[in-house]
Amino acid sequence: MTCMTLTVNLPGGTALPLIGFGTWQLRSTAAYESVRAALDIGYRHVDTATLYQNEADVGRAVKDSGVDRGQIFITTKLRPQDARNARRTLESSLRLLGTDYVDLWLIHWPAGQEELVSTWRELVSAKDAGLIRNAGVSNYSPAQIDLLTEATGQQPAVNQISWSPAQHDPALLDEHRRRGVVVEGYSGLKNTDLLNPVLTEIAQRHGVTPAQVVLRWHLEHDIVILPRSSHRERIAANFDLDGFDLTKEDVASIDTLARTG
C-alpha cells in the first residue's frame, strides 16, 4: 500500500487523496504555516470550512506553496444557516481560497428536516455551474442521504463523519459502501486514547506511534482521514503511513475497541 499517493475515485472521476490535512481550529499564522508544511511534506488534500474562518490563510498557503492548483484537492463546507445565501457564500469561499472552483463542497451538518432538500439543491446547482467539482454532506445519516438522492436524482459523493476506533461501526460503513458514498472520518486522533495498550502494543511492534496506527487503521477500512496538527513533525508522521503493515489481527483487535471502549 502506498498510502501517501493513494486516492479513491469519486463518481465524477475526480481522484480524492485518502490523506487530507484538517484545519479546524487553525487560524491565521498557524493555519498558513501548517498548510504550507503539509503541502511541503506532500499532502495534496486540504479540508477547510466557512466555519473555520481560515479560508484566506489556506488560500495563501496554497498559492505560496508553488504546487499547481490542479494538484491539490480542496474541500470547503457550507454552514446550513448560509443556505439561503449559498451562492454568495460559495463565491466568498472561492475568493478567500484564491481559486475559481473547489474540488468538494459539503453541507457541514444537516439543517432542519424541511430544509434538507432545498439546501442540497444549492450544491447541485453550484456543481452544474462548474463552481464545485463534487458535492457532498457531513454529519448526515444514510436515511438523510437517501432523501436527497430521491428528491434530486443526485447522490452526495461523500459523507464526512466522526470516526475513530471507539466509534467503529461496520454496518454504517456498509450502508455508505452500498450506496457508493465515500466516507471521510474526522477527529480520529482527538477521539482516541493514544495510550490504550492495544494501540501502544501494536505501535511498538511495528516501530511506529499509536497515532500512526490509528490513521493506518482508517485506511485499512478505506476511510479517508483528515489529521490536523500544528507541529511539523506530527504533520509529517501523520502522512508517513506506508512504511509498515498492519496485520489482519491488528486491524481486528483495533476494531474491538468499539465494543470494549
- Told to check if 95 binds ligand NAP by CB under 6 A, we report no
CB 132 within 8 A of CB 14: no
- Cβ-defined contacts of 147-155 (< 8 Å, 24+): 147/116, 147/117, 148/116, 148/117, 148/120, 149/179, 151/117, 151/120, 152/117, 152/120, 152/121, 152/124, 154/120, 154/124, 154/127, 155/11, 155/179, 155/180, 155/181
Q: Binding to ligand NAP by residue 189, rule CB under 6 A?
A: yes
19, 135, 226, 246: which one contacts ligand NAP (CB under 6 A)? 226
- Nearest-CB residue for ligand NAP: 22
43 is catalytic: no
Q: Quick check: 54 binds ligand NAP (CB under 6 A)?
A: no
The amino acid that residue 160 corresponds to is: Q
Q: Is 144 helix (H, G, I), strand (E, B) or coil?
A: helix
Which helix (H) or strand (E) element contains residue 109?
none
Q: Is 237 in the site for ligand NAP (CB under 6 A)?
A: yes
Per-residue exposure over 165-175, b if at least 16 CB sit within 10 Å of its own CB, e if not = bbbbeeebbeb
For ligand NAP, the closer CB: 17 or 22 = 22
Q: Out of 7, 92, 141, 187, which residue is the one contacting ligand NAP (CB under 6 A)?
A: 187
CB of 209 to ligand NAP, least distance (A): 6
Say which of 52, 101, 140, 186 is annotated catalytic. Answer: 52
Q: Which of 27, 84, 205, 231 binds ligand NAP (CB under 6 A)?
A: 231
Specify the residue for cell string 467503529: 168
Q: Return the residue of 144, 159, 160, 196 that touches ligand NAP, per CB under 6 A.
A: 160
- Positions touching ligand NAP (CB under 6 A) are 22-24, 47, 108, 138-139, 160, 186-190, 194, 209, 211, 226-231, 234, 237-238
Active site positions, annotated: 52
